[in-house]
Structure 1
């Protein structure tokens, strides 16, 4: 009887481990593509803002900080995520967009993890705080 319970528990544990790995792999695939930035820190982005991130399969990261286009790279290992912006255009925009862009630029290097919640992509800092919320374009 004990052997059957131990075997059943072991199989359940193994199945849960396999399921977790599949979810991590699915998370990687779900990240790829274009995402509209909806919120940075505790402030929503300006209506009709062009702020977006584009994740490509080769690890390239491009997008728009709110006013300027940028490029860089990203790495993902399961839920762990690192964004590395490398360069950007240098256009001037209205003050509200420039302020929003400064928040986006400040937040991107602080991203340490990502999770999907209710169809949104949440970026988390090292303490687990949500610092950006995105939706698929």
Structure 2
């Protein structure tokens, strides 16, 4: 039981620290950069959370001209609307196609 209390305490402290960090605003850089226009570009996913994607699996994300996004994986494809504003991307409902 004592071990469970310690685990609970560590978890609570971790949540508290994360909550405190979430409220901080990032420091402004001396040179304010303009957001990059992603329309008409295609990106290849290489890693997620610092870990490489599945070997021999190519995942691409294409930002199409008509305000749509297309995500292609080894055997699936997702497509839907994408609204880009500043440094944010808002994805709408998507549909999936299996190959």
- Which position in structure 1 is the counterpart of 2:52? 44
- Answer 1 or 2: higher relative contact order, Cα 8 Å, separation at least 6: 1
After the TM superposition, which segments of 4 or more aligned residues of structure 1 sit over 4 Å from their partners? none
For structure 2, the residue ranges without an aligned partner over 5 or more in a row are 1-29
1:45-71 Cα deviation digits (max 9, x unpaired): 123312111101221111213420111
Equivalent residues of 1:70, 1:88 under 8 A apart: yes
Give the number of aligned pairs. Answer: 69
CA RMSD of aligned residues (A): 2.3
Question: Normalising by structure 1, what TM-score?
Answer: 0.42
Which of 27, 30, 34 aligns to 1:23? It is: 34
Question: Normalising by structure 2, what TM-score?
Answer: 0.55
Change (3 A) 1:36 1:59: same
Q: 1:84 and 2:92 equivalent?
A: yes
